[in-house]
Amino acid sequence: MLSDVDKALYARQILLSELGAGGQERLTTAAIAFANDADPRARAVASEYLSRAGVGSRPDDAPAVEVPVASTATVQRTAADPALEDCAAWLLGAYAAVEAIKARAGAGTAADFPSDYTLGAEVR
């Protein structure tokens, strides 16, 4: 059951028809689990997004949300240029967090990040 504090903190998310109070409760009663090979930059972004969504706020004996954060090799491949690796890590970490939120909350349809997607460095 969501506390009054949780209801106030996550009010915007609770108002979303895809999430609601039930989905938010599933988020706040879950812990986070990352793969050992997760890129540390992408993992930090995913962790921040999940924390803000309420995941891990009550981690004691909570079921773990498996967050498939991209490996460093995937971040490098997605960046296609070393100068864009931090951007790729941010993008992949955010994507992984959103997919984990959807899975835990039972909202939306699962989606895979396109494996052939790369960032471009074109500046005009």
pLDDT mean over 111-120: 90
pLDDT mean over 23-40: 89
Residues contacting residue 124 through CB under 8 Å, at least 6 positions apart: none
d(CA 105, CA 8): 18
pLDDT tens by residue, 47-100: 999 999 988 755 566 667 778 899 999 999 999 899 999 999 999 999 999 999
pTM of the model: 0.85
pLDDT tens by residue, 9-28: 899 989 988 889 999 998 88
pLDDT mean over 100-108: 88
Among 121, 16, 104, residue whose Cα is nearest residue 68: 104
Instruction: Give one word for 81, left, alpha or beta, with left for phi > 0 and alpha for psi -120 to 50.
Output: beta
pLDDT above 60 (res 123): no
- Tell me, what's the pLDDT at 30? 84
Residues contacting residue 41 through CB under 8 Å, at least 6 positions apart: 75, 85, 86, 89, 90, 93
